[in-house]
Amino acid sequence: MKKFIKNLILGALIVAVCFSVNIGTVMATTAVYSGTYTAPYCSSNASPCETGSTVANSIVRGRLTIGPEPNYSNTVNTCNDGGTGVYHSDESIDMLKLEKSGGGAFTSGSSVRVVATVWCFGTTNDYIEIYYGGNVNSPSFGTPIYSTTCPATGQQTITSSYFTLTSSAVNQIIRAQFNYSAAGGSNSCLTGNYNDRDDLVFKAVNAAPQCVGPTSIINGRTYYRDSNGNYNYILATDLL
């Protein structure tokens, strides 16, 4: 939500009023494969951003040639998947969705979560991890923001806890990693015959500073302070 300031003249008093309008579109976005990022990319900043509405039309379903997975390995840094196994018998990430709490547009500071549809081989040795890499042009995945094991065999929906988009970059990235026999931890590209990684690149915008009201009126100018601590002025004739 972008904050604007509107001047109203009430007698001789100038009052600054904050009100909100939407930034960008708020319609759901389906990712398409990006040759630039070699991964699925949502070109809109609308939530949710997803690789498909069903497994059948998801552009990350399967793993490597097992499925087969379209445009494998669907990672920005060519993190290759394992090529052993049978589709929908062994491990695969089939669908990814990033969604903002409350919906709307992704911005820096948004609270978001990842929903991953996966195919589980077992319950004790299948590890799913979610990473947030920040700026897609220089991703830093670090340790996973969420990790778990498969709750049951077959198709499962894994939903991460909410986390905050801390990067100010326009194009950002999340990664899902699905490993057999060991968790990846700080290694977001763990080698393994049954391991699968998929990235999702999405657009975010910087949250606009919020106005906190006028501080004084000097020589016909209404001064106000925004939430970043900056002081600005507007004229009574302005309509922003």
Mind listing the pLDDT tens digit for each residue in 84-122?
999 999 999 999 999 999 999 999 999 999 999 999 999
- Could you identify the residue written with the tokens 């507007």? 234
**Identity of the residue numbered 128:** I
Measured distance CA(26)–CA(10) in Å, rounded: 35
Q: How many CB atoms lie within 10 A of CB 1?
A: 14
Q: Domains for the chain: give ranges and CATH numbers.
A: 2-22+209-235 (no CATH), 29-203 (2.60.40.150)
Residues paired with residue 200 on neighbouring β-strands, in sequence order: 174
**pLDDT at residue number 222:** 59
Structure tokens at 165: 């988009």
pLDDT digits (tens, 9 = 90+) for 171-207: 999 999 999 999 999 999 999 999 999 999 999 987 6
- HSE at residue 58, side-chain half, CA atoms within 13 A, is 28
CA angle 144, 75, 85 (to 5 degrees): 90
Q: Of the candidates 164, 210, 171, 28, which has an alpha carbon nearest to the alpha carbon of residue 105?
A: 28
Is residue 180 within 8 Å of residue 157, measured between CB atoms?
Answer: no
- Judged by phi (left if over 0) then psi (alpha if -120 to 50, else beta), residue 219 lies in left
**pLDDT at residue number 12:** 33
Name the percent of the chain lying above pLDDT 90. Answer: 71
Q: What is the DSSP string of 143-193?
A: S-SEEEE-SSSEEEEEEPPPEE-----SEEEEEEEEEESS--TT-TT---T
Q: How many CB atoms lie within 10 A of CB 230?
A: 9
